[in-house]
Amino acid sequence: MPPRFVLASRSPRRRQLLELAGWPFDVQESHADETIPPGTPPDEAVQLLARRKAEAVRKTAPRAYVLGADTLVVCDGRFLGKPRTAEEAFHMLRQLSGRTHDVWTGVAIATPGGDMVSFAEKTAVTFWELEDEDIAAYIATGEPMDKAGAYGIQGRAALFVKRIEGDYLTVVGLPLSRTVRELRRLGWPPPEV
Ligand SMILES: Cc1cn([C@H]2C[C@H](O)[C@@H](COP(=O)(O)OP(=O)(O)OP(=O)(O)O)O2)c(=O)[nH]c1=O
């Protein structure tokens, strides 16, 4: 039996992106703890959380390749995760208005041999100046609530974006081209898949 591939994520975006790679995989949510030790730099923080997610799911799928990922927005040294309330979403988007911030995505791959490999990718995103009414209207769509930094570049927040530097898919939550290259290096997919 060839090894299975499991995506350790509840994110519909990550599933859709991984489908582009063209091989079969299962999806399993990780329920991993998402707290980060204070002072952890962003590249380490996203890899730490990605590894935790992959590790949690590996316990239930030991003979599989397991992929975990985590995305964080970093503005002025402050980490912006998923907003808990509409007010928090408003403050995050106010903070991002008219400025450049970094979006970090960490990816961790657990292999059937027991290894754990991870990397982090960064994309810089510049927003136009946003009017308070634009922010309020965007929050009313409900889009910000399950997304780091309170926006989805793949949705209506595309209208906020002046320029980006880096892989667009790092912002959406999975730097697919680098991920597929790393997986190949680790032996996935095997010839029989
Ligand atoms: C900045 C940005 C983030 N996001 C999303 C990607 C991630 O799904 C989410 C960040 O939260 P994460 O904790 O990285 O992921 P998640 O909770 O959605 O899923 P899981 O932990 O189960 O894998 O924000 C977008 O979809 N578009 C964007 O432009």
**CA proximity to 93, closest of 131, 66, 121:** 131
Closest protein CA for atom 27 of ligand 1: 152
Residue 175 CB–ligand 1 contact under 6 Å: no
Closest protein CA for atom 2 of ligand 1: 152
Q: How confident is residue 162, by pLDDT bands cut at 50, 70 and 90?
A: very high
| Distance from C-alpha of 95 to C-alpha of 165, rounded to nearest angstrom | 19
Angle between helices 132-140 and 86-96 (to 10 degrees): 140
CB 67 within 8 A of CB 17: no
Residue 9 CB–ligand 1 contact under 6 Å: yes
Residue 108 CB–ligand 1 contact under 6 Å: no
Question: How far apart are the CA of 96 and the centre of ligand 1, in A?
Answer: 17
Residue 170 CB–ligand 1 contact under 6 Å: no
DSSP 144-166: GGGSGGG--TTTGGGGGEEEEES
CB 56 within 8 A of CB 82: no
DSSP 48-88: HHHHHHHHHHHTT-TTEEEEEEEEEEEETTEEE---SSHHH
Cα 152 from chain centre: 11
What confidence tens digit (pLDDT) does each residue in 77-119 have? 999 999 999 999 999 999 999 999 999 999 999 999 999 999 9
- Residues acting as catalytic residues: 70
Write the ipTM: 0.96
Domain ranges of the chain: 4-185
Query: Hey, what CATH topology would domain 4-185 get?
Result: Maf protein (3.90.950)
Instruction: Tell me the two tokens of residue 81.
Output: 């995760």
Residue 14 CB–ligand 1 contact under 6 Å: yes
What confidence tens digit (pLDDT) does each residue in 18-75 have? 999 999 999 999 999 999 999 999 999 999 999 999 999 999 998 999 999 999 999 9
Under DSSP, is residue 101 helix (H, G, I), strand (E, B) or coil? strand
Report the predicted TM-score, pTM, of the whole model to 2 decimal places: 0.97
Instruction: Tell me the two tokens of residue 142.
Output: 């409900």
What is the atom index within ligand 1 of the atom nearest the CA of 149?
Answer: 1
